[in-house]
């Protein structure tokens, strides 16, 4: 579950959106990961953010994490 940045309340799952994350080239071709990220709706009526996206700043945005995907693809 996600928490609204405005009020900190736990949100209810609403839907998801697709994000594209660029990674290091593989055999000279750019690699783009397509990731589905959940969106939540805040149930607090006073919250400034009615709908918000799951915080992925500690996940795929980190180069070391993205590099593992490239390594996993190379093992196939």
Residue 38 lies in a domain: yes
Residue 4 lies in a domain: no
Residue 42 lies in a domain: yes
Reported pTM: 0.60
pLDDT of residue 69 exceeding 60: no
Which strand (E) or helix (H) includes residue 71? Answer: helix 63-74
Instruction: Please tell me the distance from the alpha carbon of residue 60 to that of residue 76, in angstroms, as a whole number.
Output: 21
Residue 35 lies in a domain: yes
Q: Which domain holds residue 39?
A: 11-74
Per-residue model confidence (pLDDT) at position 33: 81
pLDDT digits (tens, 9 = 90+) for 14-54: 999 998 887 778 888 888 888 888 999 988 888 887 888 87
What percent of the chain lies above the pLDDT cut of 90? 12
Of the two residues 66 and 12, the one the predictor is more confident about is: 12
Residue 17 lies in a domain: yes
Residue 18 lies in a domain: yes
**Token pair listed for 70:** 């490239």
Number of domains in the chain: 1
How far out from the chain centre does Cα 10 lie?
17
Residue 2 lies in a domain: no
Residue 5 lies in a domain: no
């Amino acid at each position: 579950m996600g928490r609204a940045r405005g009020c900190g309340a736990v949100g209810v799952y609403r839907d998801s959106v697709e994000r594209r994350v660029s990674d290091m080239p593989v055999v000279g071709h750019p690699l783009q990961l397509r990731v589905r990220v959940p969106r939540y709706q805040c149930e607090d009526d006073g919250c400034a953010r009615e709908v918000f996206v799951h915080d992925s700043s500690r996940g795929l945005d980190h180069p070391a994490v993205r590099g593992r995907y490239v390594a996993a693809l190379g093992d196939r």
